[in-house]
Each structure stands twice: as structure tokens, then as C-alpha cells.
Structure 1
Amino acid sequence: MGKLYVVGIGPGSIENMTIRAMGAIKNSQIIIGYTKYIDIIKSLIENKKVFSTGMRGELDRCRQALQLSRNNVVSIVSTGDSGIYGMAGLILELKKDEQVEVIPGITASSAAGSVVGAPLMHDNCNISLSDLMTPYELIKKRVELAASGDFVISFYNPKSHGRPYYLKECMGIVKKYRGGSTPVAVVKNALREGQEFQIFTMDSFEEDKVDMMSIVIVGNSNSYLKEGRFITPRGYKLMD
């Protein structure tokens, strides 16, 4: 009998993959994933059967992975965590009697947070600004509620050519609940080749520095900068 591993390969660098994820890939006969994800792990999958598809081929990839896993050990891979905007949910929705194991990875907000300091130390949430799966009005409602609840917010998929104004509008919503000195981090290609970051405040934020390869992290009302590092206090009583 076969098995399907649903693998989160992390932010896109081999050194930031988990040992468990590497083990699943090593033990698999077949690897399935989006073409760009396959490229990231090409050094790990020599001599394995590989099936890749382009963007928006998620349903086809998941169905193929489940079918092949009936008689083979298969890994379907996605960047970040397999259960955060990854393939785990879709696989579990589609599965019947196949054996499935979900393997987590470092998600983009955690990767970006580590680059700029410790912005996620208190209650926080991830919100994708992509409206491919979620109506934009619902996205804005979630942003409003997260901002009013004083969550640290990580914006995934913050900007694209098809929706250039969503980030500006959503930052406008957050600004109703944040002071002008609240830190805002923009991290591109976190923990992988081409990494760049900038830290702004709500007042100095430059939207044109953001693209689809970025994560935008907005602090809560207590977040601050110390020696260029973005910190959200957990609430410990510090002694002088």
C-alpha cells in the first residue's frame, strides 16, 4: 500500500526545511508540485519521478497525488507550511481511503518575522489579500476585525497587477486603529535568495515597496522598534 506526504518545504531554501520534510521527500518515489516549488528542491529529487504543473493547477495536482499514492509513496510539496495556504486542506477534502500524512513547514510570516526581529510575539493572524478564493468584501471585513482586535497582522499576497489597490485600502482600515509610529515591516523573499527588507511606520509606509514576493507585517498598539528591530512585547514584567 502507498502513502501520500503533504509536505511544507518552508520559505524556499533547503537549509530552512525541516528534517521531517527532507525525510519524507527522500522516502518518496514520486514528487508532485508547482513547477517553481520543484525547482527549489531539485537537488533532493534526482532519480525520482516528478510531476509538476503551472499556477492554478492545484486541483489536478492533488487528484493526481492521491491517485498515485494508492500504489506508491508520494510527496506533494508546497512552500511555507502545508496547512497554511498550502495543499493539506484540499488533499483532506478530496481523500477517500488513501493514507495521508501532513508535514508542516516554516510559514512566510514566521520567516519574515525572524528577519526583522520578533513582531509575532503576541496574538497575531495571517490574512491573504488574494481574492481568488475569498471575496474582497470578506477580506476587508477580516482586516477590520483583526485591526480592531489589536492583532499583529501579516498580509500574504499583498499586491498584484490585478489588484493594485487592495493593500492601500486595507492599510487604510488598519490605520483607524493604530498610531502613526506603529512599525510596519516589508520583507521580500524571506529566508531565501534575494532577501530584502525595510521597516517603516504607519505614517512612513511606502506601498510601492511591496510586491507579490513580499510579506507585510503590521504591529499591534504596543509594537515598537529597538535598535532597528521590530518587537511586539509579550507582556513580561521587565526589571531595570
Structure 2
Amino acid sequence: MIGLISATAAGAAARDRLAAAWPQRTRVYDGPVGDAVRRAFSECEQLVCFLATGAVVRLVAPLLEDKSADPGVVCVDEGGRFAVSLVGGHGGGANELAVEVGELLGADPVVTTATDSVGIPGLDTLGFPLEGDVAAVTRAVLDGEPVALDTEVAWPLPPLPLAAQGAYTVRLTDRAVEPGAQEVLLRPPSLVVGVGASKGAPVEEVLELIHGALQDAGLSPRSLAELATVDAKAGEPGILDAARRLGVPLVTYSADELAGIDVPNPSDAPLAAVGTPSVAEAAALVRGGELLVPKRKSAGQPAMATCAVVRRPARGRLAVVGLGPGARDLLTPRAKAELRRASVLVGLDQYVDQIRDLLRPGTRILESGLGAEEERARTAVAEARKGQAVALIGSGDAGVYAMASPALAEASDDIDVVGVPGVTAALAAAAILGAPLGHDHVSISLSDLHTPWEVIERRVRAAAEADIVVTFYNPRSRGRDWQLPKALAILAEHREPTTPVGVVRNASRPDGTARVTTLTDLDPATVDMMTVVTVGNTATRDIAGRMVTPRGYRWQESASKSGSAAGQEEPK
């Protein structure tokens, strides 16, 4: 919850804008400002104070205890010009909150945290438990001193400007070791503990068994990702309480799933009780990995619990990111976040140039020229399989005539895949032209490099006969100059010569051009691969120089007859 505190009418107005935008996230604190700040500080994860920074400093200073637990505090000035991350930039999320508040209120976010200011992810923002001299190692990174990255466990990380050797070290490990001088330990969530238990097994017995197994194997409990068991034990109190006290989720699998896992120590007892010869080992191994601790029993008499420990393989992450049509303000915040998260970027060289300035220092860039789509897809998937955090970029929406299809054709279930939508060329062009896509519409690529022309022609004819608005991608190149005239001729068999046609080149970019012509007057020689051609249907009209395709609903017909709107827009 975000506590909102203000002292003046101007502050209250801005406060109310946040409250209206985030009704589920915010709570307004009224009354004397000092009391409101103190109550919000004790009750909320974050605060936005519409007060002078000096006043907020004096109010929160006596309340501060630990930067890892204190709320994040953001200050907004009376004029609404700045959103200042004051306290808890990383631990309290104030840096991100300042950016969000700034976007909503039109204020400039002010973030002074050193790592954020230079575009380097802070070690305390990577999502891993960490130990050691974080301040000294971070300072060394900022000062450009060589800091070594020692990955005992492969795990996807954002880009870090680290070296192979150095006086300072960042070590990624799940072993129970103490950090050395000038060293930070990052604890990846690499360990899974499979648990079996008799009915009524005490939580203390389950916890003692788990801690003993980890300790004897020299493993850190801070790298524990989850407990796993059979569905039949999903409600067992001792297992549920153990997961809660360890702060990890409990994952369950069916007996049939576990029975299919090859384990070194099957037993007749669990087979008779829950339908699988193994619970602890099988539950830990069901997603693969290295068995570090075979099944062991608790010390109770009789033993009421079993456990096994597995180091699961690191799952690489592939984000397929749509960059939009080219304008920076049409690049989505989610796409920006994925670009900054990736340690490896794969893309067409001209698209890489568009977003190079958004990448964090240390990002490894694998770029190639036109015509290497399949190679880029294979490269991106291969890097993700190595445990890397990869972003594969494409223009528009990466799933529309772009990189998502070849990449997902290569990818299997051994990596995590995230799709990030983007504004497609058809949509960007349509917004410039007016509203040509107001009713049913289709996009067709005229490139026959991968699709036989017979297939493309059949699709164009189907769209022509169905009276659907058509947007042509890849309409004409130097080596393909006859396909567009042929497609237009097919449409002309079913549409009037005066049918509006929109031609947009480099939609949304500074050098972009757009015009509305007709099916008869369009000169295909003026079209190239940077152009999108949108052909209206029989209802599309040129109204004040804009292409408009009526939605065609009954209420529109009645509205046109009565001269007033007779209905409401349907939800989409």
C-alpha cells in the first residue's frame, strides 16, 4: 500500500490524482501532517508526500531503522514539477515509484542513487539474497575498478560491468560459504527440496530434517527456491508450516507424474500410501536437475518425514520484444524494462541502433544484417539455453511478420519465454490515416521469399471477395515490383476505382510521409519496403482527407437517420 500525505490545496489536488489512478494501491492520510506521516510510515510499504523535502526529512528521520525494511519515500513539490526519490531507493522501491509518479503527474523523476544514475543495476536490485561488503563492491563498480564475476551456479543476470579477474568479486553461489574481504555473495534460487511426510508429522521434525540435509551438503538455505511434494500432501500442516517458515512456495505434483520419475531410492511404502514409489526424490527431480542429497529420513522414532535436495538447472530467459514503428514515444515501458534487463541483445543492426542508448553498460550485443532472421532466432535461443537473460528485438510487434515465430519454433520448454507486444506498422499507419481499420480488416505480406505467390494471391482474393479492409506489408522492393500491382488488380475486381487507399512510409518517424489516394490513382512505383499500403472496403470513405471505415453497427444506422448517437461503444 502507498500512503499519500499532503498539506496544501495544490498538494491535495495532485494527491487525489494519484488516488484516483491507483485506487487499489493507495490510501490517503488526513489530519496533522506529522501524525499522518508517522501513521503511513508504520502501515504502508511506500509513501508519496506532497511536501517540501526538508520537511519530510525531519519527519521521517526519527522513524528510520533499516534500509532493507524501511518504506520507500517519494516527495512531490508544490508545483508538481519533480518526483524525488528520498528514502529507500532500492529496498523500498522509491526509485521506481518516483518514475511512476512522474509519468502520471507529468513530473520529472529525480533519482540520485549512484547505480541508477549511471544505468548500472544495483547489486541489491537483482532479486537475490546477498551477503558481504555490498557498499565497497558497488563503489568499485562505480569507480571503474575491475570487479570479477564468479558464477559457481549459472543463472540469468542483467548486464553487469564485471570482469574475469579483479580485486573485488561478485560470486553467484548456493554453497554455505562466508563472503571474503571485498566480496559479495549472490544467492540464486537454485535448490529444490522434495518432502514426504506421514500424516501429522510435526513441523519441527520437517524443518530439522531440511536444515540438516542442507547443512550436511554444505548448501545455503538462502538459495532454497521451493518445497515440493505429492498432491496428496498438499494440505499436510507440517509441510505447509515448513514452507511458510522457510519463506518459499510449496509446489505439488500428481502421483502419476512422480511415478514416472526415475529415482535411486524407490520404496513400497509411499507407493501403497499415495500411489508413487517416491515422493521426496521424485518431487525434487520432476523438473530435472542434479540430486545433491538422496532421500533421507528424519530423526523421529518412528521417522515421519523424508527429504531430498536437488540443484535445478538454470532456466535462461528469452524476451521477444516489439520495438514499435520507430518513434521512441511509441516504445512501451515494458519493452524498455526488458531491454535494460537483458544481458544479451540479439537483433537486426538497424533496430539495434534505434535502442542502443537504452541498454545498460555491459550488455552483449549480437547484431546482424538483413536476411538473417532464422540465424538470429537460433542465436537468441542458444544464448538463453546457456542460462542468459536474452532480448530478441523486432520492429512493430515482434509477433507480426517479425522474430517471434522463428524464435518460438526453435525454443523448447527448457527456457522461459516472455512476449512483449509492440505497436504494429498497420496500427501506426492507421492512426495517421484516420480510422481505416474501423471494421473487419486483414494484414497480408506481399513478400514471396518464404510464402509462394499462389498462397498470397489466394489470400488476397479471399479478402477482396469478403470486402475486408486490407493492409499490405512488404508491398514492393527492387526485386519484387509486380506483386503490388497484381494485388491491387485483384481488389479492383470487387471494389470501385474511387476506393480510398492510404500510403504511409516510415510511420511515426521524423521523415515519415502519408497520403490518401484511390485504387485507380495509386502509383505502385511510389511504394517501397518502408511503406504500408491500406486499401479500404466498399464502405470506406475519404472524409476531410482522412480514411474512415464505418463500424457498421445497427446503432450507427439509426444514428445517421436520427442525426444523433443512438448507442454506446462496445467493449473490446
Establish whether TM, by shorter chain, passes 0.5.
yes
Give the C-alpha shift of residue 193 in structure 1: 2.8
* Pairing 1:192–2:509 present: yes
Higher Rg: 2
Which consecutive aligned stretches of 4+ in structure 1 deviate over 4 angstroms post-superposition? Answer: none
Name the structure 2 match of 1:60: 375
Name the structure 1 match of 2:358: 44
Matching residue within 429, 439, 444 for 1:122: 439
Q: Distance in 2 between matches of 1:58 and 1:157?
A: 15
Offset from partner CA, 1:155-211 (integer Å, 9 cap, x none): 000001111111111100000011122100110000113100111011222222211
Q: Distance in 1 between matches of 2:469 and 2:424?
A: 16
| Partners of 1:219 and 1:232 within 8 A in 2 | yes
Give the counterpart letter for 2:391 in structure 1. S
* Pairing 1:79–2:395 present: yes
Higher relative contact order (CA 8 A, sep 6+): 1
Name the structure 1 match of 2:448: 131
Matching residue within 322, 330, 353 for 1:8: 322
TM-score, scaled to structure 1: 0.97
Q: Distance in 1 between matches of 2:345 and 2:509?
A: 21
Name the structure 1 match of 2:255: none
- Stretches of structure 1 that go unaligned for 5 or more consecutive residues are none
Q: Distance in 1 between matches of 2:486 and 2:410?
A: 35
Matching residue within 540, 555, 562 for 1:223: 540
Q: Distance in 2 between matches of 1:72 and 1:139?
A: 38
SS at structure 2 position matched to 1:69? helix
Identity among equivalent positions (%) equals: 39
Give the counterpart letter for 1:117 in structure 2. G
SS at structure 2 position matched to 1:168? helix
| Partners of 2:340 and 2:360 within 8 A in 1 | no
Q: Distance in 2 between matches of 1:107 and 1:60?
A: 23
Q: Distance in 1 between matches of 2:335 and 2:402?
A: 14
TM-score, scaled to structure 2: 0.41
Name the structure 1 match of 2:112: none
Name the structure 2 match of 1:156: 473
Give the counterpart letter for 2:516 in structure 1. I
Name the structure 1 match of 2:419: 102
Give the C-alpha shift of residue 46 in structure 1: 4.7
Paired positions, count: 240
Q: Distance in 2 between matches of 1:143 and 1:65?
A: 33
Name the structure 1 match of 2:35: none
Offset from partner CA, 1:47-75 (integer Å, 9 cap, x none): 22111011111122111111211311110
Matching residue within 405, 408, 411 for 1:89: 405
Q: Distance in 1 between matches of 2:331 and 2:438?
A: 22
Name the structure 2 match of 1:17: 331
Matches within 5 A, 1:229-240: 229-236=546-553, 237=556, 238=559, 239-240=562-563
Offset from partner CA, 1:89-145 (integer Å, 9 cap, x none): 111111121111111111111010011101011110111010111011211111011
* Pairing 1:29–2:343 present: yes
